[in-house]
Amino acid sequence: MQKKQEFTTTVGDTTITASFTDMAEHAHGSVLVSAGDTVVFVTAVMEDHEASQDYFPLSVEFEERFYSVGAILGSRFMRREGRPSQEATLNARIIDRTIRPLFPKDLRNEVQVIATVLSFGMYNPDVLAVIGASLALGTSSIPWNGPVSAVRYVNTKNNWKVFTPFEEGRDCTDHFLLCGKDNCITMVEMEGKEVPETDLKQVSKDALTIITQLQEFQDGIIKEIGKEKTVLTNREISADTRRLFKEHALPTLKENLFDPGTNVHTLEREWRAVVRDHIDDISERRLAEAHFEKTIDDLIHAEAVENNRRVDGRALDEVRQLYAQAGGVSPRLHGTGIFYRGGTHIFTALTLGSPGDALALNTVEDPDANERFMHHYNFPPFSTGETGRVGNPRRREIGHGALAEKALRYTLPSQDDFPYTMRLVSECFSSNGSTSMGSVCASTLALMDGGVPITAPVAGIAIGLMHHGDTYKVLTDIQGPEDHYGDMDFKVAGTKNGITAIQMDVKVEGITPDILDEALEKGRAARMTILETIAEAIAEPRSEMSPYAPYIQTVTIDPDTIGLVIGSGGKTVKALRADTGVDSIDIDDDGTVTVGGKKDCVTAAVTQITNMTRSFEVGDTLEGKIKSIIEFGAFVEMTPNKDGMVHISEFSPSRVNTLEDIVAVGDTVPVIVKEIRPDGRIALSIKDRDPSFFDALIKQQPKESQRKGRSGNVQRQTRRPRGRRR
């Protein structure tokens, strides 16, 4: 029989249930967390020995299962889960950044947390996964200073609501995810449409009230069923190593660390060389290197808090030197932006495509969704003066690319106003702090250089924090050492009117709401400075796009005529592309047809599509070609798929005895729609459109032609001879 213990709490209108069973009895901690019909299973395991790495090896996985939505997804040839989707990777990063600061600093045993979505229902599983990770770790023997909780707010009609059902929140622009413990904030994710700082300050305070409730819920569970924590054996460096450090490293650090021209990595390499020469024991070497790191950490913190002194000599709220350039790289690129902020240098390229170039997401959240805007971020090893692996993006690159994408998304024009697919690629060619926010700035420049009519330029900045004793200082525009050794990385992007994206993580156990408020204000001031630099490079989107960008035109047709354009097996649309030379023809179910390619080709294709699908009413006029001639009239081609008939009595006000000698197949005649019959047949008239047209045509014929007709060009109705020629 299954062992099971169940605990519940209610947040707003939502009941959250935590179930502890023996399903994963070999895991050190496990829990089923559910809300509505969404269920996430989270496990935590720690190896019983230290890893070889000189850092804490934590891995977090977020596993989406196709069965969680009750569907057989994937491709026709691979009906099972493959590599994680971008959304799964981002959710794993949310969990990682929330729980990592709460592990002991000297823990070197490998820890793995896996969140598996068993059922994806009415609630987004990311918040439940964070709570599940906290409970799995908190009730296990793994040393961890939790619990930590998460809450998501969605702005629905200027009303911030907590635990909003997934379907209700997916069309909202403003999302705010906050994690925390002990009335402090440990992690923030936010995207929105120019949200004022005052709104976020209030929402964060409301969120901490919910966080407190969830923490009390978890504390009760851990107290009742939690296991005793494993006690770590702390090792201290030897007295000989301390003397070696004071002799060879400490004087150099104090003398050079705050010299703007000093590279911290150079000092670190010098100390490692000393360690290799004097210390044989591998464990002692690791302790010596960790002591070096801690000393730098202490010096940077103490100088910032006590003396307002930064590594590069700037004031605490000073932004590094800025440079912005729009275009000027190559005329073939559809748009480019170059942005410098100190030693961080970013190049972004814009590529425009047709709607058919949109990314098919094929995720469990929405298997049929397409993404018309993409931002990708690359971080090659040479950007930090190192060698390393290149190729497929790592989680960090995926996360930073998604953050910049969120920051820019809600300033883009609608598909109706700008029917292009847009792809931005940011290349981090030099890195010294906050390349993700530099990518936001370079991407804004590229969009405007490419003529994309964004609603407002977007800029981003990273705000840092230094805690020392009971005091702290907030730093604007953190660079490499301040990012690595500091206590907070608060990335905030937005326009002059409000915030569009936030991503915050900390290395301490949390920050207070007052620190968050100060970071928001410093971020706003820095953002205004950067926006001024962007405006100097390019004040508004260019009025013309690159000649290498596709020309796109949209036309709306009756959905009932879509089949006429596509044709059997796609033959008609393929022939249309071949005949006109367009690059793409995309047809939506609502009758929206988008054509992309060279302008002349697009114009020709749109004209053919319009004519092909045109519907007619009585009184409509057009020029049509005679398709065939019969005894009592002629059929005129109105569109490639529709004919109308002109009765012989509708050619001229005067009596017409024969047509064959006057008009021929292929002649163009002016007609007007005289009648549309119930069966769909259309009666046309030439005389009602132009009474003199037929008589003028007769007068234009040579007398010989008038007597003999135009037998070379006319399809005649002839009688079969009665006898056989001998």
Residue 233 resides in a domain: no
Query: What per-residue confidence (pLDDT) applies to 660?
Result: 78
- The CA–CA distances, whole Å, from 265 to 253, 282, 391, 433 equal 12, 21, 25, 14
Q: Are residues 514 and 587 in the same domain?
A: no
Q: Are residues 430 and 563 in the same domain?
A: no
| Single pTM value for the model | 0.86
Average per-residue pLDDT for the chain? 89
Residue 720 resides in a domain: no
* More reliable by pLDDT, 680 or 353: 353
Query: What per-residue confidence (pLDDT) applies to 51?
Result: 85
Q: Let me know: does 150 contact 116? Beta carbons within 8 Å.
A: no
pLDDT tens, residue by residue, 88-106 = 999 999 999 999 999 998 8
Taking 80 as the threshold, does the pLDDT of residue 720 lie above it? Answer: no
Query: What per-residue confidence (pLDDT) applies to 368?
Result: 66
For residues 413-418, average pLDDT: 91
For residues 515-524, average pLDDT: 96
Q: Let me know: does 142 contact 506? Beta carbons within 8 Å.
A: no
Q: Are residues 344 and 376 in the same domain?
A: yes
- Domain containing 642 equals 621-708
For residues 230-235, average pLDDT: 83
At residue 81 the predicted structure's pLDDT band, cuts being 50, 70 and 90, is confident
| Strand extents, DSSP E, 414-549 | 421-430, 459-468, 471-476, 488-494, 499-506
For residues 701-721, average pLDDT: 43
Q: Are residues 193 and 117 in the same domain?
A: yes
Dihedral sign for Cα 3, 9, 15, 18, please: negative
Q: Are residues 471 and 602 in the same domain?
A: no
Which residue, 431, 522, 531, 526, is CA-closest to 479?
A: 431
Q: Are residues 185 and 256 in the same domain?
A: no
Query: What per-residue confidence (pLDDT) applies to 187?
Result: 96
DSSP 79-138: -S--SPPHHHHHHHHHHHHHHGGGS-TT--EEEEEEEEEEE--SS-HHHHHHHHHHHHHH
Q: Are residues 249 and 195 in the same domain?
A: no
Residue 234 resides in a domain: no
Query: What per-residue confidence (pLDDT) applies to 602?
Result: 92
At residue 702 the predicted structure's pLDDT band, cuts being 50, 70 and 90, is low
- The CA–CA distances, whole Å, from 545 to 270, 443, 492 equal 52, 16, 30
For residues 623-643, average pLDDT: 88
Residue 722 resides in a domain: no
Which residue, 726, 667, 724, is CA-closest to 700?
A: 667
Round to whole Å and give the CA distance between 277 and 274: 5
Query: What per-residue confidence (pLDDT) applies to 440?
Result: 98
Q: Are residues 403 and 497 in the same domain?
A: yes
Q: Let me know: does 292 contact 268? Beta carbons within 8 Å.
A: yes
Query: What per-residue confidence (pLDDT) applies to 695?
Result: 78
Count: domains in the chain: 5
Query: What per-residue confidence (pLDDT) applies to 365?
Result: 67
Taking 50 as the threshold, does the pLDDT of residue 721 lie above it? Answer: no
What's the CATH number where 603 sits?
A: 3.30.1370.10
Residue 719 resides in a domain: no
Q: Are residues 468 and 586 in the same domain?
A: no
Residue 713 resides in a domain: no
Query: What per-residue confidence (pLDDT) applies to 710?
Result: 42
Round to whole Å and give the CA distance between 428 and 47: 36
Q: What six digits make up the tokens of 427?
A: 């290349």
What's the CATH number where 348 sits?
A: 3.30.230.70
Query: What per-residue confidence (pLDDT) applies to 612?
Result: 84
pLDDT tens, residue by residue, 321-355 = 999 999 999 999 999 999 999 999 999 999 999 88
- Tell me which range, 34-38, 163-167, 688-692, is most confidently predicted by mean pLDDT: 34-38
Percent of the chain with pLDDT over 90: 60
Q: Are residues 491 and 559 in the same domain?
A: no
Query: What per-residue confidence (pLDDT) applies to 713?
Result: 38
For residues 6-21, average pLDDT: 94
pLDDT tens, residue by residue, 587-625 = 988 889 999 999 899 999 998 888 888 888 899 998 889
Q: How many CB atoms lie within 10 A of CB 477?
A: 28
For residues 462-472, average pLDDT: 92
Which residue, 615, 596, 695, 713, is CA-closest to 653?
A: 695
Q: Are residues 497 and 369 in the same domain?
A: yes
At residue 2 the predicted structure's pLDDT band, cuts being 50, 70 and 90, is confident
Residue 317 resides in a domain: no
Which residue, 11, 13, 18, 15, is CA-closest to 33?
A: 18
Last-in-domain residue among 537, 564, 587: 537
Strand-pair category, 551-556 with 499-506:
unpaired
pLDDT tens, residue by residue, 479-496 = 988 998 999 999 999 999
Q: Are residues 420 and 559 in the same domain?
A: no
Taking 60 as the threshold, does the pLDDT of residue 726 lie above it? Answer: no
Residue 716 resides in a domain: no
